[in-house]
């Protein structure tokens, strides 16, 4: 393979957004006929890199070389014309049209007077569908197909051009096991034709089954490329999450109070199963695992956004059901959600109104909102969290990501919850503010709150937690105390390589 | 050239276009007909805008919460017909509260469908537009409704009376605008209306009971419609079944002209009042320059399109964009 020319080369790609270096000199070589996995945690830069490759973003530095020719991808259409084809996770098909029309959309074969040449269209489409061995034909309406078959249509679309490289973005997210087999056959057919495949996925078992090499991104920079045969899940996980400079564990334990929240055998469909844990007042319980391990879904269940399929939740020792977020809040549970812009904030509202939103019913003077008390609350948490904004009137959408997140955290701190759940508290926040937020989380525990911290960052979990729950694929693998946890044992647990018994 | 780019002009037009257009209209009308700026004419415009204005106040809440209400026109016909019919049957003292309760029931039904069942408000209220029209015709048997004793009833006070030299319809409009303006800008409920329209998911994550807020917006809208129906019935003391027909679009035009976004989350009562007046003055001006009454409908449509376009253009900062 080494003496061949790569079908696709990325050299020193740099892409910056205001305040963020999203890609910091990433280089990749995709050889003909190889399946090349691209891995990294959320925010590592995979999607930015693919957008650069697909012509949606232009790189600030570096170049893309297709075959021998340095290329500029000016648009997604341009990328396709140059033989770089994307199979997206989210489908982009017209439901009401037939399979053939979808596959050749925009380039339907024509007869005289611009009429569509249906015979040619169907013949060509069926030829492609035969290759894919699918159970539908060119005339089937796309809306009638299962999601998996719709994905096959998307793949068929890719096969209409002379593809040099095909990028699969989480292609198996919605496929059943049988459908995956078909997909993998398609991939190996493409491979045999000398097409280079980039395969983006979080699923380790697939990566190890079908890929030849694995490249890992972290924090926007290229980490390493390894031969799949020479590595294992543990070292890939290690590459993805990285060794941080500060892996110090939390050592200051506070006086523990009663159990504030206990969860017994909680399950929610396939999302997570048989999860049990407890949090005491004065304790920070960390949840650590890779994307898709089910951590956020547990938080959403405790906040009344999902109905559990089994198990019980006890608040202060009393069994309870949580029907809605309003219900959760009234029972003293607060959630700082993962998606700050979508779930955490009303971006068009000002800082003060966002911060006091959950308690606006209680902040009243007669029938009116007590704006003075609101400003007082805002000022208090602005100072406490060092929120940098010209004033409370500032529209939240105009603040930086870090300051936005502080508004969300302030919103829930000001509610004085008995159980505070924070999901990825410092995602997209600068290093200085991270430390402040970590200190705040410790302070809250010291004041007797029970705190649950969900994080994908190992330093963060180690830093703030009294105990750490390691999750893998919807199951609790092991619960560590901060004394016994080691980097290696934690990585093993979240890679699915150990369980409570094995430890 | 002068250092001003085409994009800057576009952006300025997008943000201020509606006010510029309004100013041009006003100057044009004033030049074309000297009576346009006459105090009597101005008072007349405000007075005739009161019914539309009262309805627009309620619809403002619905639009800020991120929904639409196209049922207000036919709901107003319903209120008018019902209160006129009941006036002679059970007397005005009983007829008014009964008409209000019936109209609020209709609003509650819409609020239930949109708020609790989370059905698309465009479809629900478009359907209600037609359904309530049918209900009104069924109630009246298709006949016009008239009060028999037009001279001897105090009921005419809401539409024809005046207090302190100010016509009662204007007083009602001003007082209701003040009350609802305070409700929207100063109370927890108002805050929640903005939150629900601004980001429904985030408001749910903040413990706001979104269905209840949306429901209440439709109740308020129905209350305003009932008030408008009362003014209408009292002014003419008789009515056709179709008296409110087409008002839903004029009301929406006024709210959008005032600057409320159809996407929800922005707008104020004060701006809606401005929007109502803009619409009123333009329609009046068209009559004064001698255009036929029916031209209004076309012009209203043009204004709606212009307002919606500029609303979207202001968001993306350009007048035109190939995507979204």
A314 φ, ψ (degrees, to nearest 5): -120, 130
Residue A374: count of CB within 10 angstroms of its CB = 20
Sign of the dihedral defined by the CA atoms of residues A295, A341, A218, A203, in that order: positive
Mean pLDDT calculated for residue range A100-110? 86
3-state SS, residue B193: helix
- Binding-face residues of A in 119-158 toward B, CB within 8 A: none
Q: Return the closest-CA partner of residue B119 out of B46, B23, B215, B207.
A: B215
CA–CA distance, B23 with B3 (Å, rounded to integer): 26
The pLDDT score that the predictor gives to residue A247 is 62
Give A240 or A28, the one with higher predicted confidence.
A28
B259 or A308: whose pLDDT is higher? A308
**Residue B113: DSSP 8-state:** I
Positive or negative: CA dihedral B42, B47, B49, B50 = positive
- What's the pLDDT score for residue A266? 94
Helix axes of B6-32 and B295-316: crossing angle, nearest 10 degrees: 150
In a domain, residue A34? The reply is yes
Shortest Cα distance, chain A CAs vs residue B119, angstroms: 20
User: Is there a single domain that holds both residue A174 and residue A259?
Assistant: no
Q: What residues are paired with A450 via a beta bridge?
A: A419
What distance in Å separates the CA atoms of residue A419 and residue A301, rounded to the nearest whole number?
Answer: 14
Q: What pLDDT does residue A135 have?
A: 81
Does A30 contact chain B (CB < 8 Å)?
no
Kindly provide the residue ranges of all beta strands, DSSP E only, lying in A396-466, ordered along the sequence.
419-423, 450-455
ipTM value of the model?
A: 0.84
* Number of separate domains in chain A: 3
CA end-to-end distance (rounded Å), chain A: 42
Domain of A50, in residue numbers: 8-241
In angstroms, what separates the C-alpha of A341 from chain B's closest C-alpha?
Answer: 8
Give the mean model confidence (pLDDT) for residues A48-61.
87
- Tell which residue, A146, A113, A494, has the closest CA to residue A295: A494
Would you say residue A439 lies in a domain? no
Domain end: A360, A391, A416, which one? A416
Q: Is the Cβ pair B187, A368 closer than 8 Å?
A: yes
Residue A487 falls inside a structural domain: yes
Alpha-carbon dihedral angle through residues A195, A201, A207, A211, given to the nearest 10 degrees: 10
What pLDDT is stored for residue A2 in this prediction? 52
A48 shares its domain with A146: yes
What pLDDT, on the 0 to 100 scale, is given for residue A286?
95
Confidence (pLDDT) at B301: 79
pLDDT in tens, A143-198: 888 777 888 888 888 778 888 899 988 887 667 777 788 788 888 888 888 899 99
> Cα–Cα distance between B251 and B54 in angstroms, integer?
9
List b or e across B141-171, with b for residues whose CB sees 16 or more CB atoms inside 10 angstroms. Answer: eeeebebeeeeebebbebbeeeeeeebbbbb
Which residues of chain A make contact with B192, given a CB cutoff of 8 A? 360
| Cα Rg, chain B, nearest whole Å | 20
Q: Hey, is A488 helix, strand or coil? A: helix
- What DSSP state is assigned to residue A348? T
Q: What secondary structure, in 3-state letters, does A231-277 show?
A: CCHHHHHHHHHCCCCCCCCCCCCCCCCCEEEEEEEEEECCCEEEEEE
> In this structure, are A98 and A230 located in the same domain?
yes
Specify whether A103 is located in the same domain as A215. Answer: yes
Tokens, residue B108: 């509650």
Residues in B touching A347 (Cβ below 8 Å): 198-199
Give SS3 for B306.
helix
Please check whether residues A403 and A322 belong to one and the same domain. no
Statement to judge: residues A119 and A174 lie in one domain: yes
Asked, for residue A435, whether it belongs to a domain, the answer is no
Its sign, for the CA torsion B306, B307, B313, B314, is: positive
Q: What is the pLDDT of residue A239?
A: 83
Q: Chain B contacts of A346, Cβ < 8 Å?
A: 194-195, 198-199, 202-203, 265
With CB atoms and an 8 Å threshold, state whether B186 touches A369: yes
Helix (H) or strand (E) holding B90: helix B72-90
CATH 1.10.10 fits B18-29+40-147+155-316, yes or no: no
User: Does the residue A431 lie in any domain?
Assistant: no
- CA A34 centroid distance within chain: 26
pLDDT truncated to tens, each residue of chain B (324 aa)? Answer: 445 676 677 666 666 666 777 788 788 888 888 888 888 888 889 988 999 999 999 999 999 999 999 999 999 999 999 999 999 999 999 999 999 999 999 999 999 999 999 999 999 999 999 999 999 999 999 899 998 888 888 999 999 998 888 899 999 999 999 999 999 999 999 999 999 999 999 999 999 999 999 999 999 999 999 999 999 999 999 999 999 998 998 899 899 888 888 889 989 999 899 889 988 988 888 888 888 888 887 887 787 787 777 767 776 666 666 554
In this prediction, residue A89 has a pLDDT band, given cuts at 50, 70 and 90, of: low
Contact A328 B265 (CB under 8 A): no
Q: Determine contact, residues B90/B197, Cβ cutoff 8 Å.
A: no
Tokens of A342: 């979508």
Q: Say if A443 falls within a structural domain.
A: no
Specify whether A324 is located in the same domain as A343. Answer: no
Residue A83: inside a domain, yes or no? yes
- Domain end among A186, A210, A241: A241
Give A-chain residues touching B203 at CB under 8 angstroms: 346, 357
Residues of B within 8 A of A367 (CB-CB) are 187
Mutate to test the interface with B, among A333, A335, A339, A346 (most CBs of B within 10 A): A346
CB contacts, 8 Å: B207 with chain A:
324-326, 328-330, 358
- Do the Cβ atoms of B199 and A342 come within 8 Å? yes
What is the pLDDT of chain A when averaged over all its residues? 86
């Amino acid at each position: 393979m080494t003496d061949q020319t790569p079908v696709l080369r990325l050299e020193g790609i740099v892409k910056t957004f205001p305040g963020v270096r999203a890609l910091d000199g990433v280089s990749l070589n995709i050889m003909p006929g190889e399946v090349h996995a691209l891995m990294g945690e959320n925010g590592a830069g995979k999607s930015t890199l693919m957008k650069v490759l697909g012509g949606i973003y232009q790189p600030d530095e570096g170049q893309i070389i297709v075959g021998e020719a340095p290329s500029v991808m000016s648009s997604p259409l341009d990328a396709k014309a140059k033989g770089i084809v994307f199979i997206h996770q989210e489908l982009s098909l017209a439901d009401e049209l037939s399979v053939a029309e979808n596959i050749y959309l925009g380039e339907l074969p024509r007869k005289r007077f611009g009429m569509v040449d249906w015979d040619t269209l169907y013949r060509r489409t069926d030829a492609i569908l035969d290759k894919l061995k699918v159970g539908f034909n060119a005339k089937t309406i796309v809306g009638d197909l299962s999601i998996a078959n719709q994905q096959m249509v998307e793949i068929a679309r890719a096969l209409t051009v002379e593809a040099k490289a095909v990028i699969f973005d989480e292609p198996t997210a919605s496929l059943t096991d049988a459908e995956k087999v078909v997909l993998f056959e398609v991939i190996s057919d493409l491979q045999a034709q000398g097409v280079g495949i980039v395969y983006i996925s979080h699923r380790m078992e697939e990566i190890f089954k079908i890929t030849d090499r694995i490249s890992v991104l972290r924090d926007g920079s290229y980490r390493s490329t390894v031969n799949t045969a020479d590595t294992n899940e543990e070292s890939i996980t290690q590459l993805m999450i990285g060794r941080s400079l500060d892996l110090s564990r939390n050592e200051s334990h506070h006086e523990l109070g009663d159990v504030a929240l206990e969860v017994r055998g909680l399950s929610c469909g396939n999302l997570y199963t048989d999860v049990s844990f407890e949090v005491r007042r004065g304790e920070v319980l960390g949840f650590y695992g890779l994307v898709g391990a089910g951590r956020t879904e547990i938080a959403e269940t405790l906040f009344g956004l999902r109905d559990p399929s089994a198990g019980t939740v006890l608040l202060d020792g009393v069994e309870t059901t949580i029907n809605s977020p309003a219900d959760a809040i009234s029972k003293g549970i607060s959630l700082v959600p993962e998606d700050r812009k979508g779930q955490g904030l009303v971006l068009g509202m000002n800082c003060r109104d966002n911060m006091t939103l959950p308690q606006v019913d209680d902040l009243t003077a007669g029938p009116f909102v007590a704006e003075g008390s609101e400003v007082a609350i805002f000022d208090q948490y602005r100072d406490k969290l060092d929120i940098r904004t010209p004033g409370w009137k500032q529209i939240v959408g105009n603040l930086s990501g870090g300051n936005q997140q502080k508004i969300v955290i302030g919103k829930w701190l000001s509610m004085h919850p008995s159980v505070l759940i924070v999901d990825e508290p410092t995602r997209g926040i600068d290093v200085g503010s991270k430390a402040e937020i970590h200190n705040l989380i410790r302070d809250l525990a010291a004041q007797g709150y029970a705190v649950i911290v969900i994080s994908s960052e190992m330093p963060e979990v180690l830093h703030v937690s009294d105990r750490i729950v390691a999750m893998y694929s919807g199951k609790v693998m092991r619960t560590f105390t901060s004394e016994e946890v080691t980097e290696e044992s934690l990585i093993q647990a979240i890679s699915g390589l150990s369980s409570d018994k094995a430890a | 050239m002068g250092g001003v780019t085409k994009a800057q002009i576009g952006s300025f037009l997008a943000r201020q276009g509606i006010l510029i257009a309004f100013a041009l209209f006003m100057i044009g009308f004033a030049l074309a007909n000297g009576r346009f700026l006459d105090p009597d004419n101005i008072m007349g415009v405000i007075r005739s805008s009161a019914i539309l204005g009262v309805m627009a106040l309620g619809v403002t809440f619905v639009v800020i919460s991120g929904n639409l209400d196209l049922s207000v026109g036919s709901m107003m016909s319903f209120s008018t017909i019902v209160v006129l019919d009941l006036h002679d049957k059970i007397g005005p003292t009983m007829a008014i509260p009964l008409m209000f309760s019936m109209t609020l029931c209709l609003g509650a039904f819409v609020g239930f469908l949109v708020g609790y069942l989370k059905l698309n408000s465009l479809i629900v209220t478009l359907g209600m537009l037609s359904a309530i029209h049918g209900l009104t015709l069924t109630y009246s048997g298709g006949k016009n409704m008239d009060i028999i004793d037009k001279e001897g009833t105090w009921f005419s006070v809401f539409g024809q009376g005046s207090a302190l030299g100010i016509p009662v319809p204007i007083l009602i409009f001003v007082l209701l605008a003040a009350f609802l303006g305070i409700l929207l800008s100063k109370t927890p409920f108002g805050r929640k209306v903005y939150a629900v329209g601004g980001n429904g998911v985030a408001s749910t994550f903040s413990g706001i009971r979104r269905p209840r807020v949306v429901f209440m917006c439709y109740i308020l809208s129905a209350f305003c419609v009932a008030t408008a129906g009362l003014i209408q019935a009292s002014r003419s003391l008789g009515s056709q079944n179709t008296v409110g027909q087409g008002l839903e679009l004029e009301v929406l035009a006024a709210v959008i002209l005032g600057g409320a976004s159809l996407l929800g989350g922005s707008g104020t009562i004060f701006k809606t009042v401005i929007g109502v007046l803009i619409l009123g003055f333009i329609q009046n001006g068209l009559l004064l320059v001698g255009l036929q009454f029916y031209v209004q409908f076309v012009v209203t449509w043009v204004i709606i399109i212009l307002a919606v376009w500029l609303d979207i253009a202001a968001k993306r900062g350009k007048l035109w964009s190939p995507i979204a």
